[in-house]
Copies of this chain bind each other. A is one copy, B any other.
Amino acid sequence: MEPYALDERLASDSQSLAHLELCDVRLARDSRWPWVILVPRRPDVSEIFDLSEEEQSLLAQEQVHVAKALKAMTGADKINIAAIGNVVRQLHVHVVARFEGDENWPRPIWGHGTPVPHTDETFNQMANKLRGLLQ
């Protein structure tokens, strides 16, 4: 079995904020929505049921931890949580803060348009706030 390695596209589209017990918690490099991606640090995992039951339970807890932090930080109208992976098959879970009237509201964010980069300043501000809330 290969050791765990992060998919190249996930690596380029997001930046690591924190390592929780199971997941690498990453902030997407896209300013259109506050958007976090959790990647379980396990090799050869594509579906949630490829994880052990203990890991599935950790993933569920870590998703909720991130969702609460994103809600607290943004006051979002709705948190969207999804494991899709049709393009990047390495298991990853999106946790996204949505607001009425935001880009593509109320439709989903995935596959919509082109990423709009953050400035370094706004990215770092958001990253620092989230890191604080995740501790």
A86 interface residue (CB < 8 Å to B): yes
A5 interface residue (CB < 8 Å to B): no
Report the nearest B residue to A86, measured CB to CB: B106
Contact of A108 with B105 in the complex, beta carbons under 8 Å: no
Most buried by B among A48, A77, A82, A86: A86
Contact of B82 with A78 in the complex, beta carbons under 8 Å: no
Contact of B48 with A64 in the complex, beta carbons under 8 Å: yes
Contact of A85 with B89 in the complex, beta carbons under 8 Å: no
Interface size on A, residues (CB 8 A): 33
A61: chain B residues at CB < 8 Å are 56
Distance between A38 CB and nearest chain B CB, rounded to angstroms = 13
Contact pick for A60, options B57, B67, B87, B106, CB 8 Å: B57
A21 interface residue (CB < 8 Å to B): no
A110: chain B residues at CB < 8 Å are 107-108
Contact with B along A46-69 (1 / 0, CB 8 A): 111100000011011101100110
- Chain A positions within 8 Å of B, measured between CB atoms, are 46-49, 56-57, 59-61, 63-64, 67-68, 71, 77-87, 89, 98, 105-108, 110-111
